[in-house]
């Protein structure tokens, strides 16, 4: 099976062929500016305690992260939304490996700023059998230190693409989390953290599974 990294690289190559060079340059600049802001330095790091948060699942039921962690290692995947093709590739790869996650005795959840309804649509579209949580108020995004506001030029571009984030996320904000993946150990501490301002780069699920003891 092709690795997630290879799948993402293939999509990225095709995307550059489908859009104009000025759009590519704008998006590359936004990523470079975000990296220069040192936002990654403020994200939750290895050794930190899992924030005690409750979020709504796709059916509107409250879910506690610490309660999930009480059942074993917890994998948390922050994604931007179902409108993001890179996120969908990542979610589908985790779904493919879900039996291995369960065999390892771990829990898996994915978190985005989308409303529960939009989260449900994402879960159904990707045929996800793991928990998808809504962080519409950006509570988890802030607690994990991942949040940022989109610059004006990207806001206009997203509007042209039909990605109306304030409506999709139900919070009137043009804000997103950095895509991130965390492995929380049985002791409630972050065992592994992958955070990158480049939304096209994600942690390789198989490598995280290998860390679960």
Q: How far apart are CA 49 and CA 36, in angstroms?
A: 27
State the pLDDT at residue 212.
Answer: 93
CB 113 within 8 A of CB 141: yes
State the pLDDT at residue 213.
Answer: 60
Chain segment 36-87, per-residue pLDDT in tens:
999 999 999 999 999 999 999 999 999 999 999 999 999 999 999 999 999 9
Q: How large is the average pLDDT for residues 87-111?
A: 97
Rounded to two decimals, what is the model's pTM? 0.96
Q: How large is the average pLDDT for residues 4-32?
A: 92
Chain segment 159-182, per-residue pLDDT in tens:
999 999 999 999 999 999 999 999
């Amino acid at each position: 099976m092709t690795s997630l990294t290879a799948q993402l690289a293939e999509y990225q190559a095709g995307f550059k062929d489908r859009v104009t060079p000025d759009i590519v340059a704008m998006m590359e600049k936004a990523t470079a500016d975000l990296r220069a802001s040192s936002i990654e330095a403020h994200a939750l790091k290895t050794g930190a305690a899992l924030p005690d948060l409750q979020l709504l699942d796709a059916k509107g039921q409250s879910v506690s992260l610490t309660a999930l962690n009480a059942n074993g290692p917890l994998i948390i995947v922050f994604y931007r939304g179902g409108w993001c093709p890179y996120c969908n590739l990542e979610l589908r790869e985790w779904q493919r490996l879900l039996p291995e996650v369960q065999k390892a005795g771990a829990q898996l959840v994915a978190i985005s700023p989308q409303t529960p309804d939009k989260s449900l649509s994402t879960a159904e579209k990707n045929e996800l059998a793991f928990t998808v949580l809504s962080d519409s108020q950006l509570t988890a995004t802030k607690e994990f230190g991942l949040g940022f506001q989109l610059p004006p030029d990207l806001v206009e571009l997203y509007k042209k693409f039909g990605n109306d984030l304030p409506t999709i996320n139900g919070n009137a904000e043009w804000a997103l989390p950095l895509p991130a993946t965390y492995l929380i150990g049985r002791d409630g501490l972050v065992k592994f953290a992958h955070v990158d301002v480049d939304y096209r780069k994600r942690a390789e699920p198989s490598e995280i599974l290998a860390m679960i003891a």
